[in-house]
Amino acid sequence: MSEIRFPLPDVGEGLTEAEIVQWKVAPGDRIALDQVFVEIETAKSLVELPSAYEGVVAELLVDEGSTVDVGTPILVIQTDASSGMNAGAPAAPAGAAAPAPAADAAELVADTAASIAGDEGGAVLVGHGASGPALSRRRRHPVADGAHAHLGDAHVPPAPPTAPAVEAAPVAASAPRPSVESQIPVIAKPPIRKLAKDLGVDLSRVTPTGPIGDITRDDVIREATQASVFRNIQTPELPEGRETRIPVKGVRKAIASAMVQSAFTAPHVSVFADVDATRTMEFVKRLKASPDFAGVKVSPLLIMAKAMIWAVRRNPTVNAQWTDEEIIVKHFVNLGIAAATPRGLIVPNVKDAQNMSMVELAAALEQLTLTAREGKTQPAEMQHGTITITNIGVFGMDTGTPILNPGEVAIVALGTIKQKPWVVDGEVRPRYVTTIGGSFDHRVVDGDVASRFLADVAAIIEEPALLLE
């Protein structure tokens, strides 16, 4: 038996400290290899740490809510040399009979029940995605050669006949008949159930759109968004006490430092443009109906992202970085998407977005957004961005003056898209109109370049067919 003192690792580039948010184990618990044992918050994101050892938790060295430096021991694990990856699994008793094969329908019910039961206990490890839909099939049970040779002469009793319906016990007239809806099970994978729990969504109220009648992430997000609208209508009472004090640490501390650094080191200049987005809305509608985009979320943000990439090619200096000695123009686009999360603003980015097709970019944006809302964005996903979009239209805002993401020289805000009176061919017509606004580092981007870049973005929003050139 030996003791291992597990140190807090560096989960990102250059991070020096992290806060212990929640322990997933307690002293005396047995911990398995790769089991998530603690949730920490760095200056950039919330991270789950998997164990590199298996054994028994001897001691938790740091309290929840404490901030510790990288390399500080946080956990003591007792291990023994003979323990392996499956040491904790009980061995099957010798000579135990193999279970009889189950019917496919029974296995499907069992698989669904196992998925539901795994909601509380199963954890998705960092860097490991949830598996796809489980396929139900008849299990095969290996047997030794000749083990069932004697069964050829054995008498196999026939299955008992089904009792006639008339012999069934009559149902009491006063007993309520269960509704059809109450008999339909909720089919959702454990990660989807966890997401619903975090967002306060009742899965029984969600309409499933999955291929096998299962609830998807989009279904949960949609229900949460609709519910939040009604929650926002209610005005809560003022809390007790005269004030609330919120410690400045973790993500909030990092946001404050980055915004102050950006605002007071890069001279910002902003430009704005009103845009007729009617053709973009029509294009989005056609993409949603296309079989190529089945199962992928399509929104005006996708067209905006493509417009940004196209405009960068025509105005490369907006995709650059300023240093005191030189301006570094990037020949790739790591497209950042500013995301509002329960823990604050983060800006993950889509790596090498310039090489992606429309479908690939749509899938990447969807995954980025869902990961951010779940609080699972990793530090590497927020590094090395080159230009950023902030979609303030989802909050009903027309426009704004965004602050540059540190290390970048351009950011564009997409406002809400709504019908307004618009002059077309000398006539006033209802059109879908939006306002886009851009902020630029004036040390790198001159006013004419900023204006041309934003005009190019506006041109795509007005006519997405330009993307075909």
Residue 463 lies in a domain: yes
Residue 35: predicted pLDDT? 86
Do both 280 and 400 map to the same domain? Answer: yes
Q: Is the CB of residue 389 less than 8 Å from the CB of residue 396?
A: no
Contacts of 469 (CB under 8 A, 6+ apart): none
Predicted confidence (pLDDT) at residue 29 exceeds the cutoff of 70: yes
Distances (CA, A) of 88 to 4, 80, 96, 159, 199: 18, 12, 20, 40, 34
Residue 264: predicted pLDDT? 82
Q: Once rounded to an integer, what is the mean pLDDT over residues 322-334?
A: 93
Strand order in the sheet with 67-69: 46-50, 36-41, 17-23, 67-69
Single out the residue in 205, 231, 257 at which a domain terminates: 231
Predicted confidence (pLDDT) at residue 163 exceeds the cutoff of 50: no
C-alpha span between 400 and 410 (Å, rounded): 14
Question: Residue 22: enclosing H or E segment and its boundaries?
Answer: strand 17-23
Burial state string for 148-169 with b = 16 or more CB within 10 A and e = fewer than 16:
eeeeeeeeeeeeeeeeeeeeee
Residue 321 lies in a domain: yes
C-alpha span between 29 and 39 (Å, rounded): 17
Structure-block tokens of residue 113: 């029940």
Residue 132: predicted pLDDT? 42
Dihedral pair phi/psi, residue 305, rounded to 5°: -65, -45
Residue 209: predicted pLDDT? 87
Do both 224 and 369 map to the same domain? Answer: no
From the DSSP assignment, how many helices (H) and strands (E) are in the chain? 9, 18
Residue 460 lies in a domain: yes
Pairing mode of beta strands 17-23, 67-69: antiparallel
Predicted confidence (pLDDT) at residue 156 exceeds the cutoff of 90: no
Residue 13: predicted pLDDT? 54
Q: Once rounded to an integer, what is the mean pLDDT over residues 134-162?
A: 43
At what angle are helices 300-314 and 278-289 packed, to 10 degrees? 120
Mean pLDDT of the chain: 77
Helix residue ranges per DSSP H, 176-299: 180-183, 190-199, 217-233, 250-265, 278-289
Residue 360: predicted pLDDT? 95
Give residue 14's pLDDT band: very low, low, confident or very high (50, 70, 90).
low
Do both 360 and 443 map to the same domain? Answer: yes
The SS3 assignment for 238 reads: coil
Do both 454 and 371 map to the same domain? Answer: yes
Residue 9 lies in a domain: yes
Residue 137: predicted pLDDT? 39
Residue 43: predicted pLDDT? 66
Residue 44: predicted pLDDT? 61
Residue 47: predicted pLDDT? 79
Longest dimension (CA), the chain: 93
Residue 278 lies in a domain: yes
pTM listed for this prediction: 0.56
CA 399 to chain centre: 26
Do both 298 and 436 map to the same domain? Answer: yes
pLDDT in tens, 386-439: 999 999 988 889 988 999 998 999 999 999 999 999 999 999 999 999 999 999
Predicted confidence (pLDDT) at residue 244 exceeds the cutoff of 90: no
Contacts of 349 (CB under 8 A, 6+ apart): 334, 335, 336, 337, 368, 381, 382, 384, 385, 386, 388
- Give the CATH number of the domain where residue 319 resides: 3.30.559.10
Do both 58 and 205 map to the same domain? Answer: no
Do both 447 and 361 map to the same domain? Answer: yes
Q: Once rounded to an integer, what is the mean pLDDT over residues 187-197?
A: 79
Residue 111: predicted pLDDT? 44
Residue 175: predicted pLDDT? 46
Lowest mean pLDDT among 30-39, 51-60, 240-249, 304-313: 240-249
pLDDT in tens, 351-364: 999 999 999 999 99
Q: Is the CB of residue 335 less than 8 Å from the CB of residue 311?
A: no
Contacts of 332 (CB under 8 A, 6+ apart): 352, 354, 386
Give residue 378's pLDDT band: very low, low, confident or very high (50, 70, 90).
confident
Q: Is the CB of residue 75 less than 8 Å from the CB of residue 37?
A: yes
User: Is 155 labeled as catalytic in the residue annotation?
Assistant: no
Do both 441 and 361 map to the same domain? Answer: yes
Residue 254 lies in a domain: no
The SS3 assignment for 49 reads: strand
Structural domains in the chain (count): 3
Single out the residue in 231, 258, 288 at which a domain terminates: 231
Q: Once rounded to an integer, what is the mean pLDDT over residues 314-335?
A: 94
Dihedral pair phi/psi, residue 468, rounded to 5°: -85, -5
Do both 387 and 450 map to the same domain? Answer: yes
Place of tokens 């809390």: 239
> Residue 204 is part of which domain span?
185-231
Do both 364 and 434 map to the same domain? Answer: yes
Give residue 151's pLDDT band: very low, low, confident or very high (50, 70, 90).
very low
Residue 365 lies in a domain: yes
Give DSSP secondary structure letters for 319-369.
Answer: SEEE-SS-EEE-SS--EEEEEEETTEEE--EETTGGG--HHHHHHHHHHHH
Lowest mean pLDDT among 18-27, 134-143, 268-277: 134-143
Residue 257 lies in a domain: no
Pairing mode of beta strands 427-441, 418-424: antiparallel
pLDDT in tens, 449-461: 999 999 999 999 9
Structure-block tokens of residue 9: 């690792």
Do both 461 and 312 map to the same domain? Answer: yes
- Give the CATH number of the domain where residue 64 resides: 2.40.50.100
Single out the residue in 47, 79, 111 at which a domain terminates: 79
Do both 391 and 457 map to the same domain? Answer: yes
Predicted confidence (pLDDT) at residue 89 exceeds the cutoff of 50: no
- Give the CATH number of the domain where residue 192 resides: 4.10.320.10
